[in-house]
Structure 1
Amino acid sequence: MTRQQKNTRSPEGEKRMVKGSDLLHQFGRPIASDAKLNQIAARITAAKRPLLIFGAAASRAAASHLGLAADMAQFVIRTGIPFLATQMGKGTVSESSHLYMGTPALSEGEDVHEVIDKADLILPIGHDTTEKPPFIMRKGGQEVIHIAEQAPPVEPVYFPQFQLIGEIGHSLKALADRLEGKLPNAQALLYLRKPILERTAARATEDRFALRLVNDISEVMTPHDSILVLDNGQYKISVARNYQTNAPNTLLLDNALATMGAGLPSGIAAAMLNPLHRVMALCGDGGFLMTSQELETAVRLKLNLVIVILNNKDYGMISCKQASKDFKNFGTKFDNPDFVKLAESYHAKGTRVDPRDDLVPALEAAFEGGGVHVVEVATDYSDYKRGLTDKPRSRKAKPTTRLSDLG
């Protein structure tokens, strides 16, 4: 048989191939069965202290599935169960809700983990093992029901006893139909919210710089149509804990490989996809220098993007970890270029802000001026080191001071 004969197909064969190639497009996301929904609803109804945790996969799904964010918000409202959001799940449900309990930035040891410790049933919605787990499961601990579109890989720190696999919006609406008005213990953990907030306020001096930074950024970033992108560095944990988000994907960060240098490229992508939004990339000086050449890309694409560089001439996270182990500091210090002149050399704009001055006017001017604008802020993390290395019990609190209050 010749090559031509091998490749020749009958019209009937071609039709069968076309039909076969379309098979995958005939199937949607899986839908949880009524039997499974009834089983899970019974477990939730029997719980004495239930807790929801929205994760990265929930936030991703909300961005791609129209109406899913509303479905998740309605589930919280209809059941009345308090919730946490992981760093990558922030904004899935609005954090202005009175049922929002906080954002775990570590797996254990924070104030917000008191809520987890006291829960008898935890429902992670959209848990994703690519990010740091918000809590560590142990044998004999709380019951965990995994609600997602995909089954999780079983891990030493996450091995849910029950799973509800299917399209998240359908699962939550169907569960709410079964649970609404039938959960007398729904808000059993809510009493912890106020004392956690009070303890956080009392510990605000442990990460004063980050809290002031969050407050200043929050003044120029509106909750629903601004996007804050975080690079990976010493500031990230405190910003992720404390920056309030009210819509999915308005805080973007990488907790998988936590790659330094991701902030500026991610900010560029966000600005390209959302030209009418305010987009800010918050970067440490070490991370920014790893991809600083992408300023040329941002300028060439005529993007509107503000890049805030926290300049402390140090790989601060590594310095912190070395100090926490009582190691001598090694290899973390470096010198920086003039970031304003560097920005101008790429035909971007540049501003330097003294930390004793108010950052808000500089950020507002950068956004109003349009284009690519680098704002450099000299940074002192001395107040922050204890907050990272000692695993403080800390969670989101609305900051009350600004960078101008440094004195």
Structure 2
Amino acid sequence: MKLTDTLVQCLENEGVEYIFGIVGTETLDLDDSLSKSTKIQYVNVRHEQGAAFMADVYGRLSKKAGVCLSTLGPGAANLVTGIASAKLDHSPLVALIGQAGIERQHDESHQYMDIVKLLEPATKWSTQIQDPKMVPALIRKAFRLALMEKPGSVAITLPENFAAEQIANTPLSVTPTPETVPDAASLNAAKDLIQKYTKPFIIIGNGVIRQDAVQELITFINSLQSPATHSFMAKGILPPEHQQNFFTFGFKENDAVLAGMNEADLLIVIGFDFVEQLPNAWNKNKLPVLHIDPLPAEVNEYYPVQCELVGNIKKTLEALNQAELTVKSWLPSGDLQAQIKTTYQINQNQQESLNIENVLHLIEKFTPENTIVISDVGAHKVSIAKTYQPKKPDRLIMSNGLATMGIAIPGSIGAKLACANDPVICITGDGGALMNFAELETAKRLGLTFTIIVLDDSMLKLEVKQMNNKFGNTYGVTFQNPDFVQLAQSFGVKGIRPKTLAELETILKEPQQEIVLIDLVTQNPQ
């Protein structure tokens, strides 16, 4: 059996369902082997960056490692942004990359560059197959590392001269990743720490979703009755109406939650990833910290850890919930929840304008609670992080680690393949939309159904605001757009340009039966 046949067997053994990528000369044998698989669907995309974004979002939602594929040189370089995004957003991803044969890796050679070194800072592990017989071990290690806390991206390069080599190896067994739980002494120390303070404030991170610890966390919060807030990527863990829900923190401007956190005397930080925002932005008072996470705390003067519960979050909270904790019921002064709702425009319609906040209110009101909203990066991401209130966890997907534009349209493909029965709504600015708009053809070819909302204002709105605040004028942040409705139609996709909020409401109420692009013109092109 040739090496690439064995590699595909190893991928099947890992439960891989989809591989997103573009074939090149160096990956022809792998493509041939994939064509014989009855378990894996190869999704040929229009750009390698789109492939990585699809694998990223598919990995987040399926809880499996998403897989992307490229050839050497420019193909590998095009993967970098998506691979780096998966690493910083802690999405499990495995990249398979063709490479020049070993015989020409020591000279200046056509399209050759050291991909392993290129991807080292963008991955948890980057390696090249040096011995064909090691393929089963390398694939098993790659998937294990990609899924292990904290999840992230892994890259394996395959030299072309090995691809067709005959080997007799078979896949290695897939075994569960060991889960640890804090010992009794640590749990008792955490209990004593909570008992010591009167005003704990709970910070919820995306690790709670990754480790399937939502119900255990809600039980903990209900028992303690202390206020709690979410990072951007953790939104939806607490129901919007939960009395301890102080919504979202992590904003550079007008972060209304900080007033409540500053009144606390202890921060209980659960599954929070520093990549979303460093503690010096939200713990300026250097309040003591109870750290609950699969990994030990990072050393930081603004993160003064008094106690650490290191281990599986779900099992840690189960153990903590068995302790008889004293209720720590308190509320920040000044009816802070109401202030946050006003500041963040939560459930507060502003007349009948087609602004992003009103669009989000319509999505909340007229779409099923299992709807997945995918946000691209831009000014609208901040609005979504503030205003939008998903009713369930893992129903709002955004890039907040690398915070990279262009993820939303290809990410919607990954989301729909991971969650075929759930409606998907992609919200993107015009800048991010055109970065990977070609993947609309991929989605149409696959027969997927989802909704794309393009915020069409002919500018990079966030940078316009920042430049005006800093310099009083702008430069290099405006452009001209195509007619998005006609552009969508050229892909065989339905394009609509609603003029009123009522028209948009009618569109959103309709069940998703095809891909629909909604062009929301918020400012006439200049």
Place the TM-score, normalised by the shorter chain, in its bin.
0.7 to 0.9
* Corresponding residue number in structure 1 for 2:219: 74
Deviation at 1:235, TM superposition (A): 1.2
Q: Secondary structure at the match of 1:336?
A: coil
Deviation per residue, 1:31-73 (Å, 9 max, x gap): 11111000001111111111111112222222xxxxx222122
- RMSD of aligned residue pairs (Cα, Å): 2.7
- The residue identity in structure 1 corresponding to 2:248 is T
* Corresponding residue number in structure 2 for 1:394: none
1:52 aligns with 2:209: no
1:186 aligns with 2:336: no
In 1, are the aligned partners of 2:364 and 2:390 still within 8 Å (CA)?
no
Q: Which of 75, 88, 92 lines up with 2:233 in the alignment?
A: 88
* Corresponding residue number in structure 2 for 1:250: 395
* Corresponding residue number in structure 2 for 1:283: 428
- The residue identity in structure 2 corresponding to 1:165 is V
Q: Which runs of 5+ in 2 are unaligned?
A: 1-168
Structure 1 distance, partners of 2:209, 2:367, is 20
Deviation at 1:140, TM superposition (A): 5.7
Deviation per residue, 1:312-366 (Å, 9 max, x gap): 000111111111102531111111111111111111111111256541112233x
* Corresponding residue number in structure 1 for 2:124: none
Structure 2 distance, partners of 1:326, 1:31, is 52
Structure 2 distance, partners of 1:315, 1:74, is 42
* Corresponding residue number in structure 1 for 2:271: 126
Q: Secondary structure at the match of 2:305?
A: coil
In 2, are the aligned partners of 1:105 and 1:241 still within 8 Å (CA)?
no
Structure 2 distance, partners of 1:198, 1:174, is 34
Kindly tell me: are residues 159 and 265 of structure 1, through their superposed partners in 2, closer, same or farther at Cα, counting changes over 3 Å? farther
Kindly tell me: are residues 26 and 286 of structure 1, through their superposed partners in 2, closer, same or farther at Cα, counting changes over 3 Å? closer
* Corresponding residue number in structure 2 for 1:346: 491
Structure 2 distance, partners of 1:287, 1:139, is 34
- The residue identity in structure 2 corresponding to 1:277 is D
* Corresponding residue number in structure 1 for 2:449: 304
Deviation at 1:172, TM superposition (A): 1.1
Deviation at 1:28, TM superposition (A): 1.5
Deviation at 1:90, TM superposition (A): 0.7
- The residue identity in structure 2 corresponding to 1:200 is T
Identity %: 26
Q: Which of 100, 103, 110 lines up with 2:245 in the alignment?
A: 100
Q: Which of 363, 366, 372 lines up with 1:220 in the alignment?
A: 366
In 2, are the aligned partners of 1:84 and 1:102 still within 8 Å (CA)?
yes
Q: Secondary structure at the match of 1:71?
A: helix
Structure 1 distance, partners of 2:505, 2:345, is 25
Deviation at 1:157, TM superposition (A): 4.7
Deviation per residue, 1:3-35 (Å, 9 max, x gap): xxxxxxxxxxxxxxx9xx87x947611111111
User: Which stretches of structure 1, 4 residues or more, deviate above 6 A after TM superposition?
Assistant: 201-205
Structure 1 distance, partners of 2:284, 2:439, is 47
Q: Secondary structure at the match of 1:353?
A: coil
Q: Secondary structure at the match of 1:256?
A: coil
* Corresponding residue number in structure 1 for 2:89: none
- The residue identity in structure 2 corresponding to 1:81 is S
Deviation at 1:78, TM superposition (A): 2.2
Q: Secondary structure at the match of 1:179?
A: coil
Kindly tell me: are residues 379 and 46 of structure 1, through their superposed partners in 2, closer, same or farther at Cα, counting changes over 3 Å? same
1:378 aligns with 2:524: no
Q: Which of 397, 410, 413 lines up with 1:265 in the alignment?
A: 410
Q: Calculate the TM-score normalised by the size of structure 1.
A: 0.79
Q: Which of 186, 207, 223 lines up with 1:36 in the alignment?
A: 186
Kindly tell me: are residues 300 and 190 of structure 1, through their superposed partners in 2, closer, same or farther at Cα, counting changes over 3 Å? farther
In 2, are the aligned partners of 1:50 and 1:186 still within 8 Å (CA)?
no
Structure 2 distance, partners of 1:251, 1:134, is 23
In 2, are the aligned partners of 1:57 and 1:127 still within 8 Å (CA)?
yes
- The residue identity in structure 2 corresponding to 1:136 is A
Higher relative contact order (CA 8 A, sep 6+): 1
Structure 1 distance, partners of 2:249, 2:344, is 16
In 1, are the aligned partners of 2:246 and 2:337 still within 8 Å (CA)?
no
Q: Which moved more, 1:310-319 or 1:27-36?
A: 27-36
Structure 1 distance, partners of 2:506, 2:332, is 40
Q: Which moved more, 1:125-134 or 1:288-297?
A: 125-134
Q: Which moved more, 1:73-82 or 1:104-113?
A: 104-113
Structure 2 distance, partners of 1:208, 1:51, is 36
In 1, are the aligned partners of 2:286 and 2:303 still within 8 Å (CA)?
no
Structure 1 distance, partners of 2:398, 2:365, is 20
In 2, are the aligned partners of 1:146 and 1:160 still within 8 Å (CA)?
yes
Structure 1 distance, partners of 2:519, 2:302, is 40
1:61 aligns with 2:211: yes
